[in-house]
Amino acid sequence: MFTMKTAAQEVGMSYETLRFYCDTGLVPNVARDKNNYRIFSQNNINWLKGLQKLKKCGMSIKDMKHYMNLCLEGISSIDERKAMLDEQRKALVKKLDEIHDCLDFIDDKQEFYDGVLDGRVPYISNLVASGT
């Protein structure tokens, strides 16, 4: 069992983020001790790790809540959960394509600048006259 502090450390999130997730209902079925402090099970920890992944994937808090509610429904909601994850995957692939495009641009610019500095390529600018 984990306290709020140890649970936050275990999953690598701040205490404040964990409290926010709990207060917004994103962590269901958290037990309480005799002093009414939250006590997290290993299942809660695993769920929190999954929430972190969903957040890194770009899923909103609203969508994470919807996903959680679907999970609580059980097997009957698997198709809808798969559809949600598929949409998130498509968005990530699009973002990845954009990142690759940006990296290609930077690599091309670096190659151009190396060529200019080595004297292999004439300097051409879209902002200033040639040779400046």
- The predicted-structure confidence for 77-108, as pLDDT tens digits, reads as follows 999 999 999 999 999 999 999 999 999 999 99
pLDDT digits (tens, 9 = 90+) for 15-52: 999 999 999 999 999 999 999 999 999 999 999 999 99
pLDDT digits (tens, 9 = 90+) for 108-124: 999 999 999 999 999 98
> Residue 65 pLDDT more than 70?
yes
Strands (E) in the chain, as ranges, are 31-32, 38-39
Q: How far apart are CA 66 and CA 80, in angstroms?
A: 10
Neighbours of 67 (CB within 10 A): 21
In this prediction, residue 129 has a pLDDT band, given cuts at 50, 70 and 90, of confident
- Contact (Cβ atoms closer than 8 angstroms) between residue 32 and residue 39: yes
> Residue 130 pLDDT more than 80?
no
Domains in the chain, CATH or no CATH each = 1-57 (1.10.1660.10)
pTM here?
0.80
Tokens of 40: 């997290």
In this prediction, residue 128 has a pLDDT band, given cuts at 50, 70 and 90, of confident
> Residue 67 pLDDT more than 90?
yes
Tokens of 60: 């909103």
